């Protein structure tokens, strides 16, 4: 059996999977806000609780995979690039193994998303999968034959912190990003980025779900906001295709619930893909909010 842990900013989710991929147990607890030691303890308690369920079906302890909103620096062994800032600079991998008492595998949550959808999700069986997270932030994960690609610097798939490609005059220099740069893809394609763009063009503050709903009702300013978003997403994904040429791109995160993206974006991205034809598939995820925790469980062979 397998345990997957998705360590998020507001919740920690634990999942016990059978080797066939069936859910045996699922538990969610709040993430201790800004408290590193308490976060380690919360994950440990969650694993022990799932262990108790697993004992009823097997004498062998489950493997443990953990997805985090950041990554482990190969240089220092410490967490970097995490939007849960209390994790940054801490030896999370070591501390979790010490607290739990057995080995774990740890990966970026976007990589876990890509693994989940490649193993038994919307891209099942595909050789090369790029998983896109469109939510509070914007990120990506690369999966080859069901295994995450982390890269030499552990930044493979960090798509959201590249500049928006083929930027138009009114997109330069772009909004400030928390990473210290301006005009990152994340500042345009995240949920806050969508809200900021709508307000910039209309002067009307709206939540993302309101923009999407009003666009569906025919509100012209909201339709225009989504069309700008789709144009930018098409350009950004065209660069992914030009570099990786994946078999499938899977959309995840809250904004991926816009069903229109999978229809409209592939009609646009051919303008920037360096090929006479583009047969790359753009698909919605299959496992929804469960993709990250399922991918963490699948980190073990």
Q: Look up the domain containing 210 and give its range.
A: 125-285
Angle, CA of 54, 67 and 162, to the nearest 5°: 165
Answer for the pair 138, 185: CB distance below 8 angstroms, yes or no.
Answer: yes
| 212 domain residue, yes or no | yes
Asked if residue 82 has pLDDT above 90, the reply is no
In this prediction, residues 159-179 reach a mean pLDDT of 95
pLDDT digits (tens, 9 = 90+) for 129-165: 999 999 988 999 999 999 999 999 999 999 999 999 9
- Looking up residue 237, the CATH number of its domain turns out to be 3.30.420.40
Residue 188, pLDDT score: 98
Residue 10, pLDDT score: 86
DSSP bridge pairs for 148? 143
Residue 200, pLDDT score: 97
In this prediction, residues 17-43 reach a mean pLDDT of 94
Number of domain units in the chain: 2
| 118 domain residue, yes or no | no
Residue 9, pLDDT score: 83
In this prediction, residues 261-271 reach a mean pLDDT of 98
| 281 domain residue, yes or no | yes
A 10 A CB-CB count for 60 gives 9
| 89 domain residue, yes or no | yes
In this prediction, residues 65-79 reach a mean pLDDT of 95
| 120 domain residue, yes or no | no
**Residues 134 and 262 occupy one common structural domain:** yes
In this prediction, residues 214-236 reach a mean pLDDT of 98
**Residues 231 and 192 occupy one common structural domain:** yes
């Amino acid at each position: 059996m397998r345990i997957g842990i998705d360590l998020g900013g507001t919740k920690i989710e634990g999942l016990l999977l059978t080797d066939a991929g069936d859910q045996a147990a699922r538990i969610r607890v709040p993430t201790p806000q800004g408290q590193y030691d308490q976060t380690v303890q919360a994950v440990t308690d969650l694993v022990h609780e799932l262990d108790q369920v697993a004992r009823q079906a097997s004498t062998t302890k489950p493997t443990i995979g953990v997805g985090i909103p950041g990554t482990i620096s190969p240089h220092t062994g410490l967490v970097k690039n995490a939007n849960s800032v209390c994790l940054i600079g801490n030896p999370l991998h070591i501390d979790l193994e010490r607290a739990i008492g057995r080995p774990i595998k740890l990966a970026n949550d976007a990589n876990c998303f890509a693994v989940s959808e490649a193993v038994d999700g919307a891209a099942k069986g595909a050789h090369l999968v790029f998983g896109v997270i469109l939510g509070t932030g914007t990120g990506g994960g690369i999966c080859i034959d069901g295994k995450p690609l982390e890269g030499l610097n552990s930044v493979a798939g960090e798509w959201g912190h590249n500049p928006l490609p083929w930027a138009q005059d009114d997109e330069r220099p772009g909004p400030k990003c928390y990473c210290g740069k301006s005009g990152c893809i994340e500042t345009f394609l995240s949920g806050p980025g969508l809200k900021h763009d709508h307000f910039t063009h209309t002067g009307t503050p709206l939540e993302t779900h309101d923009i999407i709903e009003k666009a569906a009702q025919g509100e012209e300013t909201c339709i225009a906001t989504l069309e700008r978003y789709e144009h930018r997403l098409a350009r950004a994904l065209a660069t992914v295709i030009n570099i990786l040429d994946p078999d499938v791109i899977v959309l995840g995160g809250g904004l991926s619930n816009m069903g229109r993206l999978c229809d409209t974006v592939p009609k646009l991205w051919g303008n920037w893909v360096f090929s006479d034809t583009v047969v790359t598939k753009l698909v919605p995820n299959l496992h929804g909010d469960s993709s990250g925790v399922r991918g963490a469980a699948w980190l073990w062979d």
